[in-house]
Amino acid sequence: LDDTLSVLENWDLIVVSNRQPYRHTFDDNDEIAVDRPAGGLTAGLDPVVQQTDGTWVAWGDGDADREATDDANSVRVPPEDPAYTLKRVWLSESDVADYYYGFSNRVLWPLSHSLENKVTFEDRHWERYREVNQQFADSVVDSVATDDGSVGTETDDSNSLVWFQDYHFGLAPQFVREEVGDEALLSHFWHIPWPEREVFRDCPHQTELLRGLLANDLLGFHIPDYCANFLDCVATILPEAAVDWESWTVEREGHECRVRSFPMGVDTERIAEYAAAPDEGFWAEFRAEYGIPEDQAVAVGIDRLDYTKGIPERLAAIEHLLETEPNWLGEFTYVQKATPSRTEIPEYRELGRQVDRDIERINERFGTDDWQPIIEIEDYLTEEALYGLCRHSDLAIVSPLADGMNLVAMEYVSAQIDHTGVLLLSDRAGADDLLGDAAVTIDPTDTETFASRLDLALSMPDEERQRRMRALRSVVATTNIQSWMADVFDATLALEQQVDTTETD
């Protein structure tokens, strides 16, 4: 990443994401305080944007954010040592309802995960998605530096590289392109799956979305399958676009968009440090606090409470195992850490109720005075506690029905510094492409086989556990968040010649 960063320093980097890297809040004394990025992409990207003194455009949320922000909607971050500009886009309540909860999360999210029965479409969702994409695009255009200052308000000699994150911005690239022409490189990473053409064809406004995304110079997905699905959609839905299947390039109205896969990873070293940080008594105390009996195998599941994550399917497999293999009764505990998410959406609330009901039923059915088969952790866990839990759990169960990549699988492996755990992984997660050989793979909807794989994983001899975990760890060490960013930036910068650099040359 360091080499890439030194090249990037000559560019104006503009990152666009729905969630912001720093969020202002009011503390108990009504003073402004700041929440920092907790992990994942935001934490990984933040140092890059700091080092390049770039700009980050994101949804500003709440009174404290407003108070901390100047008239140009900007605030310098991080607060203690300002290194870049965070530009906030303000969304009204109805923007949030229709753009975020509506089109993004009730249409694009379920559709991209091929869960069509969860799609709810209303015209106003789309209209607001369009308007909010325009708002974000306006903010980007304002920041694009040009040779003569003709576009945007900034004027310096470097070129701009805009990096859009995710499905919230299907239209913004086109809106930006219409204003800046070739003055900026536009790159986009779609963090969730791209569905097969039969599914995407159900998408209202499919042509606008494809055209919006094709305005990018580079469009990235986690795995080749999603790229192929996207190209297939373009080839069959957009008559004016030409797909080159050799180079995965789409030509449309004189503009070329490359489509490529970049499997994302996690910050392996940082996670390993957190996992190693707690003192020796940590695990015994953790078990005591949550009522996990000593000397029992522990399986863990860590998820956002989302219907794509396959939590009810996982609970059904655990129930089936306890039913059919009673030797496991009182021998292992499953710890579920589920973080509530998008609770304004009825399907998410219903999932929460279903998970609670399932856990209650299984515990009532099989639990004893001193053992509950399932323990649900609702408390906030620090990173040390979370990765400590991963380090000490004998098994992680990652069972999504569909998932762009699934970084929890990689976090678990990164925290496994003693090489003693087993990863049970859905063959429908993007991560299966990388980790499927050394993980124990499952089809989350096939309860019987899922249960027998659980049995196999729990009984696996130490030697085999270690062999598999070492193989998994060598993959996550090389496919990490830093190498992912470097790959995306390198591939984007390799398209530099497409940008009009004549004047600066």
Residue 304 beta carbon to ligand G6P: minimum distance, rounded to whole angstroms:
6
In the complex with ligand G6P, which residue's Cβ is closer, 343 or 382? Answer: 343
Residue 261 beta carbon to ligand G6P: minimum distance, rounded to whole angstroms:
16
The answer to whether residues 316 and 443 touch, using CB atoms and an 8 Å cutoff, is: no
Interactions with ligand G6P, residue window 4-23 (CB under 6 A) = 19
Residue 251 beta carbon to ligand G6P: minimum distance, rounded to whole angstroms:
28
What is the C-alpha to C-alpha distance for residues 408 and 401, in angstroms, rounded to an integer? 15
Give the CA distances from residue 4 to residues 11, 80, 103, in Å, rounded to whole numbers and listed in that order: 11, 26, 35
C-beta neighbour count of 474 within 10 angstroms: 12
In the complex with ligand G6P, which residue's Cβ is closer, 19 or 419? Answer: 19
C-beta neighbour count of 11 within 10 angstroms: 21
Residue 380 beta carbon to ligand G6P: minimum distance, rounded to whole angstroms:
15
C-beta neighbour count of 158 within 10 angstroms: 16
For the window 217-256, what string marks contact with ligand G6P as x by the rule CB under 6 A?
----------------------------------------
What is the C-alpha to C-alpha distance for residues 486 and 496, in angstroms, rounded to an integer? 15
Residue 182 beta carbon to ligand G6P: minimum distance, rounded to whole angstroms:
28
State which of residues 192, 318, 390, 454 lies at the interface with ligand G6P (CB under 6 A).
192
Residue 89 beta carbon to ligand G6P: minimum distance, rounded to whole angstroms:
15
In the complex with ligand G6P, which residue's Cβ is closer, 18 or 146? Answer: 18
In the complex with ligand G6P, which residue's Cβ is closer, 145 or 302? Answer: 302
Residue 101 beta carbon to ligand G6P: minimum distance, rounded to whole angstroms:
9
SS3 321: helix
In the complex with ligand G6P, which residue's Cβ is closer, 27 or 344? Answer: 344
In the complex with ligand G6P, which residue's Cβ is closer, 386 or 499? Answer: 386
The answer to whether residues 393 and 422 touch, using CB atoms and an 8 Å cutoff, is: no
The answer to whether residues 164 and 13 touch, using CB atoms and an 8 Å cutoff, is: no
The answer to whether residues 474 and 117 touch, using CB atoms and an 8 Å cutoff, is: no
- Interaction between residue 191 and ligand G6P (CB under 6 A): yes
In the complex with ligand G6P, which residue's Cβ is closer, 373 or 400? Answer: 400
C-beta neighbour count of 281 within 10 angstroms: 9
* CA angle (444 as vertex; 356, 261 as ends), nearest 5: 115
Residue with tokens 């004394």: 29
- Interaction between residue 166 and ligand G6P (CB under 6 A): yes
In the complex with ligand G6P, which residue's Cβ is closer, 99 or 200? Answer: 99
- Interaction between residue 341 and ligand G6P (CB under 6 A): yes
Determine the residue type at 290.
Y
Report the DSSP pairing between strands 297-304 and 395-398: parallel
In the complex with ligand G6P, which residue's Cβ is closer, 187 or 372? Answer: 187
- Closest alpha carbon to 299 in 378, 372, 389, 395: 395
What is the C-alpha to C-alpha distance for residues 292 and 334, in angstroms, rounded to an integer? 9
Site for ligand G6P (CB under 6 A): how many residues? 6
In the complex with ligand G6P, which residue's Cβ is closer, 59 or 283? Answer: 59
Residue 100 beta carbon to ligand G6P: minimum distance, rounded to whole angstroms:
7
What is the C-alpha to C-alpha distance for residues 42 and 109, in angstroms, rounded to an integer? 20
State which of residues 177, 342, 392, 473 lies at the interface with ligand G6P (CB under 6 A).
342
Residue 166 beta carbon to ligand G6P: minimum distance, rounded to whole angstroms:
4
- Closest alpha carbon to 288 in 381, 355, 370: 370
Indicate the residue whose CB is closest to ligand G6P.
191
Residues sharing a CB contact under 8 Å with residue 469, sequence separation 6 or more, in sequence order: 413, 416, 419, 420, 421, 422, 423, 438
Residue 52 beta carbon to ligand G6P: minimum distance, rounded to whole angstroms:
22
Contact footprint for ligand G6P (CB under 6 A): 19, 166, 191-192, 341-342
